[in-house]
Structure 1
Amino acid sequence: MQISLVRDAIADAARVVQLPTGIGKLTCTGYVPDSVVTPCFFVAEVDVTFDRTMGRGMDELSFTCRVLAGRADDRSAQRILDALLSGAGEASLKQALEAARGAPGQAALGGLADDLRLERVQGYRWYEHQGSSFVGAELAVKVIGDGST
């Protein structure tokens, strides 16, 4: 799997969420942005486990993604974050990311991987980014696919 292409495909999958009226669109990027326009989703760190099957058959990528909801009003930013972290609904990142798995028997992320799964949400707290504080959380996304590509 090509890490750069997978990063971008995860961001593209997140881009389909629909936030409540008046909030605007979710800004999504496959890399850590220099500056943040909230609400923002980005793919941050990656851990790579090679050779999950013999002969370079499968690698596993574990991505830490972050979503930063805002900083102007504690309560409203946390409500936006809650909607993004919910298991279902138009604003659900879980629902949006897992839709990119494709139908049963199809490759995930438009053919870039065999499968992906949003495993958990962690670190619901205030984050420092470029000198500003934002309420946010981390999402652990696991992607498996061909190790020889």
Structure 2
Amino acid sequence: MQISAVRDALADAARGVVLPAGIGALTCTGYVPDAVVAPCFFVGDVELNYDRAMGRALDELLFTCRVLAGRQDDRASQRIIDALLSGAGPASLKARFVAARGAPGEMALGGLADDVHLQRVQGYRWYEHAGATYVGAELVVKVIGDGRT
């Protein structure tokens, strides 16, 4: 798997969420941005576990992504994060990653991986990014695929 392509595909999957009226679109990027345009989803850290199957047939990538919302109104910002972290609904990141898995027998992330799975949410708290403070959370996303490509 090519890490850069997978990062971009994760951002593309997240871009499909529909936030409540009046909030605007979720800004999504496969890399940590210099400046945040909230609400924002970005792919951050990556951990690699090589050789999960013989002959380089399977590698596992664990991406720590972050979602941030502005703090113009503490309650409203947390409601945006809550909607993004919900298990279902138009703003659900979980639903977008399930859709990115493809139909049974299809490759995930548009053919880049065998599977993608949003495993957990952690660190629902205040974050500082480039000198500004945001409410947000981290999402751990597992991607598995052929290590020979």
User: Which category of TM-score, normalised to the shorter sequence, fits these structures?
Assistant: over 0.9
Deviation at 1:88, TM superposition (A): 0.1
Partner of 2:81: 81
Q: What does residue 38 of structure 2 align with?
A: 38
Q: 1: CA distance between counterparts of 2:138 and 2:70?
A: 14
Scaled by the length of structure 2, the TM-score of the pair is 0.99
CA-atom RMSD, angstroms? 0.4
**Is 1:114 the equivalent of 2:111?**
no
TM-score under structure 1 length normalisation:
0.99
Partner Cα distance (1:72, 1:31) in 2:
25
Partner Cα distance (2:147, 2:98) in 1: 21
The one-letter amino acid paired with 1:90 is P
Gaps of 5+ in 1: none
Name the SS of the counterpart of 2:20 in structure 1. coil
Q: How much has 1:71 moved relative to structure 2?
A: 1.5
Instruction: Classify the secondary structure of the residue corresponding to 2:23.
Output: coil
Alignment of 1:2-17 (within 5 A): 2-17=2-17
Mapped to 2, the partners of 1:98 and 1:40 lie a distance apart of 20
For 2:41 and 2:72, how far apart are their aligned partners in 1?
18
Consecutive aligned runs of 4 or more in structure 1 exceeding 6 Å deviation: none
Deviations 1:43-77 (Å, cap 9, x if unpaired)?
A: 00000000000110000000000000111111000
CA separation in 2, counterparts of 1:96 and 1:33?
Answer: 21
Correspondence 1:1-149 to 2 at 5 A: 1-149=1-149
* Aligned-partner SS, 1:138: strand
**Amino acid in structure 2 at the alignment position of 1:2:** Q
For 2:79 and 2:104, the matched residues in 1 are separated by 33
Structure 2 unaligned spans of 5+: none
**How many positions carry a matched residue from both structures?**
149
Distance 1:124 1:140 in 2: 13
